[in-house]
Amino acid sequence: MAKAVTGAVVGIFDDPQTLLKAGKAARERGFKNLDAYMPYFVHGINEALGLKRSWVPWATLLAGVTGGSLGFLFQAWTSAVDWPLNVGGKPFVSWPAFIPITFETTVLFAGVTTLLALFAACRLPQRNPKILDSRVTDDHFALVVPITGTGAEEERFLKDAGALDVKKV
Amino acid sequence: MSVEADVLSNPPLIPPRITMADVTADVLRPIEKPGKLWYLGMSISLAALLFGVWAVAMQQIHGVGVWGLRNPVMWAFDITNFVFWIGIGHAGTLISAILFLLRQRWRTSINRSAEAMTIFAVMTAGLFPLIHLGRTWYAYWLIPYPNERLLWVNFRSPLLWDVFAVSTYLTISLCFWYQGLVPDLASVRDRTTSKLKKLIFGIFSLGWTGSARDWNHYEKAYLLLAALSTPLVLSVHSIVSFDFAVSLLPGWHTTIFPPYFVAGAIFSGFAMAMTLLVVLRRVFRLEEYIGIYHLEMMNKIILVTSWMVGYAYMTEAFTAWYSENPYERFTFWNRAFGPFAWAYWIMVTCNFFIPQLFWFQRARRHILTMFIVSIFVNIGMWFERFTIIVTSLHRDFLPASWDTYAPTIYEIGMTVGSFGFFMTFFFLFARFLPSLSLAEVKGVLVNPSGKKAHQPAEAVHG
């Protein structure tokens, strides 16, 4: 049984390489639910912290298929069912002429959904975001290690890993 | 190619002494304190915009007749401007999406301003079909909604495809741009000392914290939007070219139009991006971020696309001759040697002859040269659209229906105004938002913390 998380220790780093090494070491030590705060995406952080693949692409796929189908069906319905109108002797469902708009609705649905899915995944917008340290959007990095006991072990670990600053939150 | 090999073969994109803190400070400086040049540029843009507002107001009050359009030339400056501005937008998407997918890391310094250019150019372009309607207040008839007339729009018409293509393009470009802005807006929020700015940037950064979990989703979403924008941008100008190619008019009715228009769009957009960046880097002292290397890469793309456009001109001539179609042959001859020959030769000179300067490295790396060439390309590409539209229309099949065409002050005012509209938005953007992508530029720094002197570059963006 995992012990209840009572808080977290935050280590501030000023170099992405040190952050990656510390993240990897923390995971090897058996610390769970690690998180990091970074001013930009440091490649390798997913592997270092063991983050799962994002689910956002599934939302994009679903929305794209929906958008494309709806776009095509709507054009076919208006042209052949709701008000069949003979335009230049073409069939009512002259599907090649419907492709451009089908493509556009696919991209429109998929793109807008991607952004909304991103916000949902990151739980944005947040009214009062918990900003650990104002420097993590400038030039510093933070590694967050949740603690289950006193946190002394985690603090020592972060200091050894090269953190400039260690604090409990 | 591994990142190390890439770093070894190319000079660093940003001077190695620049650290993450420098990036934040340098890029956000204009937001915190604009210079005098900004006020000057903004005033000129607003004056141009005012001229345009007057011209469009007169047209709305008195009708499209004030433009002097009459049969057979019913399209002129308005549609020229529409195609021109849509084209400008394409380079922004090319830089932000296609170069991202191709892992071209030099895009990081220029993608934010190029995307902003896309959005403002598409906004500008979108005005013209609306103005062109004459009764602009009926613009909502373009939207398929259940109405009292019980009719639907004609989904087989390229003009309606345009409505969908352009509005989708604007929406997706905005999504892509905004996503890139969120982490940077959070940087401003955490840095500013002004309460009002903290509130405004706090709202628009949506509470971004920079957590690795969020970045994980962010990177995936960014990749997806880039992948969606890439075919989208190709579709938009192809559809714009269908406005012409699907008709039966000689000079318009050709299969070469979609690729020809897309290549021209990228060409003109890169030229406009060059014009803007040369000014931006100077006014906001960003020379170290938008370096000669970045500009040289852009000049190479201008040279390549200049050849694509030049090749299209030659193909048009060849096809006209080889088709043995008298109308097609006449239209081409009339373009090159008829009453509008001056416009045709401005187009060929500006778009094909002048950019050949970029074969020389000295020209590619010389700021004033590239600025002047980019201005010529802007002019040339405007005249390309003018030539395509007016020369095909003014002399079609029957000599009895031929006529000539001359612009009026209202059309010129509208055109000048469109530049004012575009530049006003661009100046506002450069003043109030980070004009470089902070998060992406930090990702390509050689020495982000500024501590290690001989550290090989880390694994970075792209």
pLDDT band at B455 (very low <50, low <70, confident <90, very high): very low
B363-409 pLDDT, tens per residue?
899 999 999 999 999 999 999 999 999 999 999 888 998 988 888 99
Quick one: angle between helices B341-348 and B367-386, nearest 10? 140
Average pLDDT of the residues in A10-19:
84
Backbone angles phi, psi at A2, to 5 degrees: -75, 140
| Interface A:B, Cβ pairs < 8 A | 210
B362 three-state secondary structure: helix
What's residue B142's pLDDT? 87
Q: Among B25-29, B83-87, B414-418, B448-452, where is mean pLDDT lowest?
A: B448-452
Confidence check: pLDDT of A27 > 70: yes
pLDDT at B437 over 90: no
CA atoms within 13 A on the CB side of A64: 16
Element (H, E) at B213: helix B212-245
Contact criterion met (CB below 8 Å) for B96 and B73: no
Mean pLDDT rounded to a whole number for chain A: 85
Mean pLDDT over each residue of chain B, to the nearest integer: 87
List, for residues B110-128, the tens digit of each pLDDT value: 888 888 999 999 999 999 9
pLDDT at position B451 is 65
For B213, the token pair is 């979990």
Length of chain A: 169
* pLDDT at residue number B11: 67
Share of chain B above pLDDT 90, in %: 46
Provide the 8-state DSSP code for A87: S
Q: What is the pTM of this model?
A: 0.89
* Amino acid A70: pLDDT: 96
Distance to chain B for A7, nearest Cα, Å: 17
Please tell me whether residue B71 adopts helix, strand or coil conformation.
Answer: coil
Confidence of residue B10 (pLDDT cuts 50, 70, 90): low
pLDDT at B287: 82
3-state secondary structure of A8: strand
**Residues B438 and B19 sit within 8 Å (Cβ to Cβ):** no
B242: which 2 tokens?
A: 């269908």
> Does residue B199 register a pLDDT over 70?
yes
DSSP SS3 for A36: strand
Q: Which two tokens stand for residue A126?
A: 């947040």
The verdict on a CB contact (< 8 Å) between B218 and A39 is no
**What is the arithmetic mean of pLDDT over B205-222?**
89
Q: B211–A139: do the CB atoms touch at under 8 Å?
A: no
B contacts of A57 (beta carbons < 8 Å): 220, 224
Q: Does A164 touch chain B (CB under 8 A)?
A: no
CB contact under 8 A, A54 and B220: yes
> In terms of C-beta density within 10 A (0-12 exposed, 13-18 middle, 19 or more buried), how is residue B455 classed?
middle
- Distance CA(B22)–CA(B29), nearest Å, equals 10
Closest CA to A53 of B168, B203, B77, B216: B216
Report ipTM for this prediction: 0.90
Residue B462 in this model has a pLDDT that exceeds 50: no
- Between vectors from CA B157 to CA B156 and to CA B159, what angle results, nearest 5°? 150
Q: What is the pLDDT of residue A76?
A: 92
Looking at residue A7, the DSSP 8-state letter turns out to be E
Q: What is the CATH number of the domain that holds B21?
A: 1.20.1630.10
d(CA B180, CA A115): 11
Contact B168 A105 (CB under 8 A): yes
Tell me how far the alpha carbon of residue B89 is from its chain's centroid.
2
Is residue B458 very low, low, confident or very high in pLDDT (cuts 50, 70, 90)? very low
CA nearest B150 in A: which residue? Answer: A83
Of A49, A114, A137, the CB nearest to B225: A114
Of B158, B211, B449, the CB nearest to A35: B211
- Say yes or no to pLDDT of B340 above 60: yes
Name A15's Cβ contacts closer than 8 Å, sequence gap at least 6.
A141, A162, B448, B449, B451, B452
Instruction: Residue B10: give the domain boundaries.
Output: 3-460
At B178, is the pLDDT very low, low, confident or very high (cuts 50, 70, 90)?
very high
Q: How many domains does chain B have?
A: 1
Instruction: Cis check for the bond before B259: say yes or no (omega within 30 of 0).
Output: no
Residues of B in contact with A17 (CB under 8 A): 455, 458
* pLDDT tens by residue, A90-108: 899 989 999 999 999 999 9
Instruction: Look at residue A1 in the predicted model and tell me its pLDDT.
Output: 40
Which of A121-135, B220-234, B254-268, B343-357 bottoms out in mean pLDDT, i.e. has the lowest? A121-135
Query: Are residues B417 and B56 in contact, defined by beta-carbon separation less than 8 angstroms?
Result: yes
pLDDT at B1: 35
Cβ proximity of B130 and B418 under 8 Å: no
The answer to whether the CB of B461 falls within 8 A of the CB of B105 is yes
Q: How far apart are CA B234 and CA B408, in angstroms?
A: 33
User: Confidence band (pLDDT; 50, 70, 90) for A2?
Assistant: low
> Are B155 and A79 in contact (CB < 8 Å)?
yes
**Per-window interface: A 51-110 vs B, CB < 8 A:** 51, 53-54, 56-57, 60, 74-75, 78-79, 82-83, 87-88, 90, 94, 97-98, 100-101, 103-105, 107-108, 110
Domains in chain A: boundaries = 8-54+130-168, 69-121
Residue B250: alpha-carbon gap to chain centroid: 28
Token match 């990897």: residue? A24
Return the ∠ at Cα B423 (arms to B418 and B429), rounded to 5°: 135
- Domain A8-54+130-168 has what CATH class? alpha beta
Confidence class of residue B21 from pLDDT cuts 50, 70 and 90? Answer: confident
What band does B330 get if pLDDT is binned at 50, 70 and 90? very high
Contacts of A60 in chain B (CB under 8 A): 224, 228
Do A101 and B218 lie within an 8 Å CB cutoff?
no
| Portion of chain B with pLDDT greater than 70, in percent | 94
In sequence order, what are the residues at sequence separation of 6 or more whose Cβ sits closer than 8 angstroms to the Cβ of residue A88? B156
Q: In this predicted structure, what is the pLDDT of residue A106? A: 95
Average pLDDT over residues A149-169: 79
